[in-house]
Structure 1
């Protein structure tokens, strides 16, 4: 076993019964490749003899190895000294103690709709040839998660109440490099009971929940839809076959079929398959016979997995794998427990040089011969909606100059707010915002110069404030801030209400009689000011401004200058650069700052900064 390097935990979360299994006091892990699967029962007994508690962690790719006899990937036994079964309100649970702004930026499907439709056509061709009856085809989604992962889990948990949720902080190597797993699975893979009965509930058939008064009708239609029932039956038959390899003669049954339940934003159809296991059945036998779950492969399983590999052209990782637990018992097989099917789940990997996380998740659906490709695409969007439409945890803002009833930079403000509201999922009616501003320009701002601030709260509510804009006196100065920012931070690309660091920079600059403070990152490159962008003109006339690749705000005045440099005195254009350092700044012939209120103005550099004094935030 690997020695303890840092604390880890796993919460197996049943939001429907409101009970959790909370695993703490990590002691190590066992690594098992497919060719070593026969060792798992012995390893389990060794851990149980020490009164340890185990969480089993199995990727889909490990299942591929089990199916095809490879040993490239592993499953893991995660061992803990302590397992508490607690109520969801228990104050010891990780998400109960964290208060943090957490959310998702730039979530997107990595497969374009055109490619998706083409792949469905290829699946239909494979079904037409008789290669398969059904394929569970999936796509990968990516994005950036900000804030504490446990806080993000709590927010998503409110939207996706499921029986087989998982919140886990684990060694990254067991989770494809991702230290965090946020799981919201509604699907049971296997339940092993203390009397030797095994139960599975394959999930096939989906309809949206839209809160429009027609949801019950959709549930009824789903339950009686011939296509979805046929899809469900195919997978039920596959799992009956898998469990039949382990069951007593005549021991497999389907006590319940075509049950429809609500899980988050969708209705799901499930059927229940049970099997009375042969007394000599081992854990290795169960995994060899049944993993991965047939509901996320298709039928027949082996050929379906080959088709999946050809179409998806990626490793699925933990997505469509399984997480569960086993514990010893006196009856039945000598052990009992539960495994889920990993769907509706997120993996979070800490970004290098950034406070945020790379987010990955998969979404898929079962494809049969009468599946309509466009409908399947829509179904995937329904399934992703609990994440895709998670409201932002932070608001947006635009600060505008209105002079004599006209906002000259209105189009740039409008484009930026539209882009940011989509990226951060802020549910604001952008067109209504601008209509309200135009009305105010006529009624309130027809004469004079005004600072008009539009703050959009996370829920989409808009708050307007304004004040007369007081002219600046004389040539302004700027200083270099002692605050040093991370190399990357995607939130810096948006003008959000989470501005305490930036506000502190320009406020500290004002104490030194400066207009703004210049910010550098940990690599030593110039970014922007606390409330303005920066342009640097060298002695040879060349003009540079920090590149957007540095994760800076694309200020509306910056955009205007780059759109027409000559209009602002830069006859030979402006070059974006990611490499403006302290020496280059000192050597500049001219330094300019820009923002929507003050336009573009030349400034003097207060040259009294010790570059070795840094305060990294």
Structure 2
């Protein structure tokens, strides 16, 4: 990709301004052992008239203290920086293509039971006197469909924060991720022209639910002894960090225990201000204060060791910092602002256009009187900025109803429930099934019906039906020449974005076949345009694995649960590597879907 296509936007949605960095010229990667070189590199870049963004992973902070992770501090040098109002037309999120965009299958990688065990381990460490507080985090993963800049715009509308970031960068700079979408409400450091540094650590959280009780929750948070104590611990830690660089008596706390609303939560913040000694350098500041104590715990060094033992992963940019510096003629000779990277998404590009793997971290501060179950709930409040993003695709189920009864109803219900949950569609599914049952008992009590239960992206549902008859003539299947990407999260769900599948089976019907079989870029069999597929080779039945991102049809599920009931001998093996040659060599091929059940097909010429 052309370097000019990379950019960083530092976005203050509360002030309605942003800093738009464009034209990536080069990147300085600074190892911890060479951190003292950062000031000379800054002076060189500024002398060339370039603009810098600092990109600091949490693991670089570990590297500064302990080594062993090979994490770098990146100086991203851009040709220009525009300071803009946030409605400037050429900003990326206002130029993004209006394609369906959303998040799917977002989930915590740590199960609740394991999470609670780790809280117990933190309590044990506190009881031993090792630490006073630990900021414990867990990794969440999911999938993104659509355009990253559009996703940022949608999330930004839900999470108005002062330290947002939208960045498209070379993946090697960002732990393999092509995009960073940040919605941080937390200031790490604001370096002022007069040599003062301000930090505003956040400790203490309560949900914002819009149920008329939010102000009561804010008041309760403001006066809560546990949250105030947690806040004080981190304020003291940051006072100590900045005190290493400040003039004598130069550290103060002008504001404590302020409660502010950010997106889906209330946050308690305090303000710490320090007057730096005139000779303080950027390297000095990084060495003294990074990473921010609000995301480690106290005392910082021991807290980071406990985190390393418990989390057993690299946090990457999450809980690190992104910000900028500019030269000036007063104070320390530079000014700037760095955030704490929380409420952020890292997007790794798939080979499939407009498909990305998502990772994010969510955490909370644990003290001796923290209740594990409450902390688990708090993490889910914090994740609501992403988990609560509504879908931009609908889903549907097509049922076979015979004499008022659907044999596969339980499987349809389970799949639809999973789909609306994974795609973040808010729908009264129970009401849908009640309406379906009522119609089965009245309108469709006799005869054979094709019933479609459709749920729109906004959660509204509709149930329609048409009479149908079973086919009797032998059926055939074609091999489609359309090649699908290796990965596509939306293929796992029966969504309204099925145009490519509809074209395949409709093209097959024009040739007199029932369906066309689809293959991915690696040449492996996936599914038909409207069916799953089973092939027999040397007496053994195989079917493509759901690891290939195929729709797990309800008839397919029923067959795999009880192959003999549907005429299969022995176990059916799921495979992710069935090639065209094996399909052509199959002794028998069977298709399945919810309407037609399972049936044998003959293989005919390739579908053009």
TM-score range, shorter chain: over 0.9
In the alignment, is residue 350 of structure 1 matched against residue 357 of structure 2?
Answer: no
Match in the other structure for 1:511 = 510
Q: Which 10-residue stretch deviates more, 415-424 or 286-295? A: 415-424
State the distance in 2 between where 1:230 and 1:573 align. Answer: 60
Match in the other structure for 1:479 = 478
User: What's the offset of the Cα at 1:536?
Assistant: 2.0
Q: For residues 359-387 of structure 1, what are the alpha-carbon distances to aligned partners after superposition, in whole Å with 9 as ceiling and x for unaligned? A: 11111111112222221121111111111
Q: 1:425 to 1:589 in 2, by over 3 A?
A: same
User: What's the offset of the Cα at 1:244?
Assistant: 1.4
Match in the other structure for 1:550 = 548
State the distance in 2 between where 1:578 and 1:252 align. Answer: 61
Match in the other structure for 1:210 = 209
User: What's the offset of the Cα at 1:193?
Assistant: 1.1
**Mapping for residues 122-201 of structure 1, pairs under 5 Å:** 122-201=121-200
User: What's the offset of the Cα at 1:511?
Assistant: 2.3
**Mapping for residues 260-339 of structure 1, pairs under 5 Å:** 260-339=259-338
Match in the other structure for 2:26 = 28
State the distance in 1 between where 2:436 and 2:210 align. Answer: 32
SS of residue in 2 equivalent to 1:37:
helix
State the distance in 2 between where 1:53 and 1:71 align. Answer: 28
Q: Which 10-residue stretch deviates more, 451-460 or 470-479? A: 470-479
Q: How many residues in Structure 1 have an aligned counterpart in Structure 2?
A: 607
The question of whether the paired residues in 2 share the 8 Å contact of 1:137 and 1:364 is answered with yes
SS of residue in 2 equivalent to 1:441:
helix
The question of whether the paired residues in 2 share the 8 Å contact of 1:531 and 1:595 is answered with yes
Match in the other structure for 2:396 = 397
Match of 1:80 among 74, 78, 81: 78
**Mapping for residues 206-245 of structure 1, pairs under 5 Å:** 206-245=205-244
Q: 1:135 to 1:562 in 2, by over 3 A?
A: closer
State the distance in 1 between where 2:150 and 2:439 align. Answer: 39
Q: Which 10-residue stretch deviates more, 475-484 or 4-13? A: 4-13
The root-mean-square deviation of aligned C-alpha atoms, in Å, is 1.8
Match of 2:569 among 571, 579, 602: 571
State the distance in 2 between where 1:209 and 1:425 align. Answer: 19
In the alignment, is residue 55 of structure 1 matched against residue 57 of structure 2?
Answer: no
SS of residue in 2 equivalent to 1:92:
coil
User: What's the offset of the Cα at 1:549?
Assistant: 2.2
Match in the other structure for 2:535 = 536
User: What's the offset of the Cα at 1:563?
Assistant: 2.7
Normalised to the residue count of structure 2, the TM-score between the two structures is 0.96
SS of residue in 2 equivalent to 1:117:
helix
Q: Which 10-residue stretch deviates more, 184-193 or 109-118? A: 109-118
Q: 1:169 to 1:561 in 2, by over 3 A?
A: same
Q: For residues 173-216 of structure 1, what are the alpha-carbon distances to aligned partners after superposition, in whole Å with 9 as ceiling and x for unaligned? A: 22111121111100000001112111100111111111111110
SS of residue in 1 equivalent to 2:5:
coil
Match in the other structure for 1:16 = 14
Q: For residues 371-414 of structure 1, what are the alpha-carbon distances to aligned partners after superposition, in whole Å with 9 as ceiling and x for unaligned? A: 22221121111111111222222111101121222222212211
**Mapping for residues 350-389 of structure 1, pairs under 5 Å:** 350-351=349-350, 356-389=355-388
User: What's the offset of the Cα at 1:578?
Assistant: 2.5
Q: 1:301 to 1:562 in 2, by over 3 A?
A: closer
User: What's the offset of the Cα at 1:568?
Assistant: 2.7
Runs of 4+ with deviation above 6 angstroms: none
Q: 1:105 to 1:115 in 2, by over 3 A?
A: same
State the distance in 2 between where 1:4 and 1:480 align. Answer: 38
Q: Which 10-residue stretch deviates more, 56-65 or 578-587? A: 578-587
SS of residue in 2 equivalent to 1:210:
coil
Match in the other structure for 2:434 = 435
Match in the other structure for 1:613 = none
State the distance in 1 between where 2:274 and 2:228 align. Answer: 22
User: What's the offset of the Cα at 1:125?
Assistant: 2.0
User: What's the offset of the Cα at 1:581?
Assistant: 2.0
Q: Which 10-residue stretch deviates more, 347-356 or 317-326? A: 347-356
Normalised to the residue count of structure 1, the TM-score between the two structures is 0.95
The question of whether the paired residues in 2 share the 8 Å contact of 1:34 and 1:71 is answered with no
Gaps of at least 5 residues in structure 2 are none
Q: For residues 334-358 of structure 1, what are the alpha-carbon distances to aligned partners after superposition, in whole Å with 9 as ceiling and x for unaligned? A: 2111000001111111235685222
Q: For residues 84-103 of structure 1, what are the alpha-carbon distances to aligned partners after superposition, in whole Å with 9 as ceiling and x for unaligned? A: 11121111111111212222
